[in-house]
Amino acid sequence: MKVLVAGGAGFVGSHLCARLLDEGHDVLCVDNLVTGSDRNIAALVDHGRFEFLRQDITEPFTASADAVFHLASPASPVGYWEHPFMTIRANTTGTFTLLDIARRSQARFLITSTSEIYGDPLEHPQTEEYRGNVDPTGPRACYDESKRLGETITTEYRRHYGVDTRIVRVFNTYGPHSQLDDGRMIPNFIVQAVAGQPITVHGTGAQTRSICYVDDLVDGLMRAMFAPDTTGGIFNLGNPEEHSVLEWAEMIIRLTDSPSEIRFEARREDDPLRRCPNITRARQVLGWTPRIGPEEGLLRTIDWFRADMERGGTYVPSEAR
């Protein structure tokens, strides 16, 4: 197939592009490189079936494809706090743009939504039927609410135009190609531990997170797009193995053999107390379950971060968001 990957030079998008090429597809990678990086796709640019288009999806452009993946949005706190209006437009105007391409091409369409649409959840673990507990004016709202509206736009294109759509709600994901200053828990903890700096934990550290290695997530995205009977589907993708933030920090200190100590700071506004996916639907419909355990995935990620820090310096985020 010819596959368009919007946000294809980003953290997850670059891994998805590589997987698609490995499986024999032609890939059009579209990215404005605001939070993505051309170095993430440096190994792909000379591939005969790979094409890169530097393009803002909120601006009209012409393309055709058999399948369209929409991953084009700042996704880390650093990204969407620095670019709130760009985030809103990418998930709304950009969703219209990509759905119009899918409609004209009669292509399959997948939008990556987020676990953040559940907000600070009152249901645990979160199922796809849960409607969320989101603050529409909070510090995360530019991301949370625009993703929710992106889901609405996608659903209406299926209802009114018959576009072959599916929605994937991505839970915490980690792995190579993350930015050093990404702002999320795992990148921050690894960078701080490798540099021997204090590990910054906001609140008591009792709040929980479940983390999914990027290769597992990409496998889930592929299944959600190409498996039969997924039209109109909504799928949580994440690893349901849940640990406290403090436990993740301690595990990373151990795996990096770091002298870092843990420093506690005030809990951040709208920081969810618990975050864990119910992936029953993904198991039943997609035949998907995460395969890479936390220690294996974290060791791979730590090796990549060490090398990246040697190449690009030792910037340490001041806060773990």
Active-site residues, by number, are 143
Instruction: State the Cα–Cα distance between residues 32 and 38, nearest whole angstrom.
Output: 10
How large is the greatest C-alpha to C-alpha distance in the chain, in angstroms? 58
Listed residue (5, 216, 248) closest to 109, CA to CA:
5
Instruction: State the Cα–Cα distance between residues 109 and 272, nearest whole angstrom.
Output: 30
Token pair listed for 11: 């953290």
Instruction: State the Cα–Cα distance between residues 226 and 230, nearest whole angstrom.
Output: 8
- CB count within 10 Å of CB 262 equals 16
Token pair listed for 236: 């949580």
Listed residue (108, 137, 52) closest to 233, CA to CA:
108
- CB count within 10 Å of CB 228 equals 6
